[in-house]
Structure 1
Amino acid sequence: MRITFLGTGTSQGIPLIGSKHPVCLSKNLKDKRLRSSILIEKNGNNFLIDCGPDFRYQMLRNNYEKLNAIFMTHEHHDHIGGLDDIRPIHFKMNKPIPIYGLRRVIENLKKRFFYLFHKDKKSNICRISVHELDDYKKEFFVENSKIFPLFIWHGYLPILGFRVENFAYITDASSIPIYTIQKLKGLTILVLNILRKGRKGTDNSFSIMLYETLKIIQKICPKKAYLTHISHTFGFHEEIEKQLPKNVYLAYDNLIIYI
């Protein structure tokens, strides 16, 4: 199984438009971050997790031409904004592209990208098959691969992470329930955002966020963990890495890992 980090940034990416922040001005390519997304290659199939506004460029620069499924974590724009650009992939593959997500997320997609869900067979519109995952306790199969949806919290919003065999991907989490942590035992690789902890309306330093994230990683105890969804305010890639334990790494755009 091969995993490509298509993007590892937060909702605005790095650099931010017009920003003079030192990280935004960095010449290090690892400090240049598109919106967060990954692509999993397994048994000749391509599984995409999230389809943000940078999706077209991400697919082009990594030479990916097909998608066998898209898994949506939630409906915020930085995770769904590139959905329109699946059309040329559909036309090339000439079969519906399945999308998996919570019912709330699917309904949001149908409203925001209504033309993609057009039922007129004479229309030159992408064919999508939708699959609702509100019963997050049940695994499902895509192209003979078993996928486990993972219930997590993004503030007060329930969203999903996904586990494929001994690999799991979680982004935008503010907290992870105990029963979800139990589903994450035995992982070889965990991908996790830096958790945002603290009282609503208060600022949190990077060190507090990192401390909380490392505590969660210790509870799950994967062989390796990669951090994603990185903001420019967290600092330079090289400086953050110096603060991490030996089995925890900072992900960056175009990083490829194998399991």
Structure 2
Amino acid sequence: MKVKFLGTGTSTGNPEIGCRCEVCTSNDKKDRRLRASVLIGVNGKRILIDCGPDFREQILGEEFTKIHGVLITHEHYDHVGGLDDLRPYCKLGDIEIYSNKIALDSLRARIPYCFNNHPYPGIPVLHLNEVASDKPFLIEGVEVLPINIIHYKLPIYGYRIQDFAYLTDVKHIPEEEYDKLKNLEVLVIDALRIKEHLSHENLEQALENIRRIAPQKAYLIHMSHQIGLHAEVQKDLPENVFLSYDGLELEF
């Protein structure tokens, strides 16, 4: 499996518009974060998790080959705002989108021109697939297991593929979902900032979940400028926990 972090930032991205803090003005490229998304290669298939407003910029440098499925965690704009930019990939085949009913209903309302009875030429051809959280499903032979997560009060999905799990926008993981997260090689998990937040884990809460889930390695995602400088924060993390950064590639 190969995983590339296309974006590792929160909804505003880093630098945040109008901010002159030490993170937003940092010269370290690891402090510059586009909106959160990963591209996974597994068993010859390519799977995208989330497709935010920076997708076009994120994907331009990647090989132009078929995307076999798009996993949507939830309907917030920073996770779905780039779906229209999938249209070039429709030359290689229709795009299959997977998520829960809440997210899919929101997509139908947000980009109705993709789903009306008489679509006009040139629009992205997207097929919405509602998937339940109580059993795995297949994307062209690749097994995907949804993980229920609570983002403030909104039920959203994380996803497990083989020994990799991706959990963004986490505030609470229901007790019964932890069994789905056993024996991970790599866990990617939300850690918005140092201070407590209404709808996201802070760094301390993310580390608590990492200790409980006990993956071999964990990578933090969806970070705001309030997380601090990449180089400084990394020094204080456990040896198996890492700040992700845009462009980071894993192979395992």
- In the other structure, the counterpart of 1:49 is 49
Aligned residue pairs total: 251
C-alpha spacing 1:63/1:15, structure 2 compared with 1 (3 Å):
farther
Q: Is this contact kept in 1: 2:164–2:185, CA < 8 A?
A: yes
Unaligned regions of 5+ residues in structure 1, if any? none
**3-state DSSP of counterpart to 2:219:** strand
User: Do 2:6 and 2:37's aligned partners in 1 also have CA atoms closer than 8 Å?
Assistant: yes
Q: Deviations over 1:172-204 (max 9, x none)?
A: 000111211111000000000116885859xx9
Q: How far off is 1:51 after superposition? A: 0.4
- Helix, strand or coil for the counterpart of 1:61? coil
CA contact (8 A) 1:8 1:37 kept: yes
Distance of 2:220 and 2:82 partners within structure 1: 23
Q: Does 1:213 align with 2:211?
A: no
Aligned counterparts of 1:55 and 1:161: Cα–Cα separation in 2:
19
Deviations 1:92-151, CA, capped at 9 Å, x for gaps: x0x211000111111111111111223326633322211112x20111011101100000
Structure 1 equivalent of residue 142 of structure 2: 145
Amino acid at match of 2:18: G
1:114 aligns with 2:87: no
* CA distance, structure 2, for counterparts of residue 99 and residue 239 of structure 1: 38
Relative to structure 1, the CA distance from residue 117 to residue 219 in structure 2 (aligned partners, 3 Å threshold; closer, same or farther) is same
Compute the displacement of 1:34 (Å). Answer: 0.1
Name the counterpart of 1:188.
185
Report what 1:20 is aligned to.
Answer: 20
CA distance in 2, matches of 1:228, 1:198: 16
> Does the 8 Å CA contact 1:59/1:65 hold for their aligned counterparts?
no
Aligned AA for 1:21?
C
Which secondary structure state, in structure 2, belongs to the residue aligned with residue 192 of structure 1?
strand
- Which residue does the alignment assign to 2:127? 129
Give the gaps of 5 or more residues in structure 2: none
Q: Against the structure 1 CA distance between its residues 5 and 64, is the aligned structure 2 distance closer, same or farther, given a 3 Å change threshold?
A: farther
Alignment RMSD: 1.9
Matched-pair contact (CA < 8 Å) for 2:14–2:24: yes
Match of 1:171 among 165, 168, 171: 168
Instruction: Name the % identity.
Output: 44
Within a 5 Å distance, the mapping from 1:191-206 to structure 2 comes to 191-194=188-191
Kindly indicate whether residue 127 of structure 2 is the aligned counterpart of residue 158 of structure 1.
Answer: no
Residue by residue, what CA displacement relative to the aligned partner does 1:51-87 show, whole Å, maximum 9, x if unpaired? 0000001000334443110000000000000011001
In the alignment, is the contact (CA less than 8 A) between 1:195 and 1:212 conserved in 2? no
Residues 185 and 217 in structure 2, CA contact (< 8 A), matched pair in contact too = yes
TM-score (structure 1 length as normaliser): 0.92
Taking the aligned partners of 2:78 and 2:192, their CA distance within structure 1 comes to 17
Residue 236 (structure 2) aligns with: 243
Q: Please give the alpha-carbon distance, in whole angstroms, between the structure 2 residues aligned to 1:183 and 1:245.
A: 23
Render the CA deviation track for 1:24-71: whole Å, top value 9, x for unaligned: 000000000000000101122110000000000100033444311000
3-state SS of paired residue (2:202): helix
Q: Is the Cα–Cα contact under 8 Å of residues 99 and 131 in structure 1 kept in the other structure? A: yes
Partners of 2:159 and 2:187 lie apart in 1 by 10
Give the counterpart of 2:102 among 101, 104, 125: 104
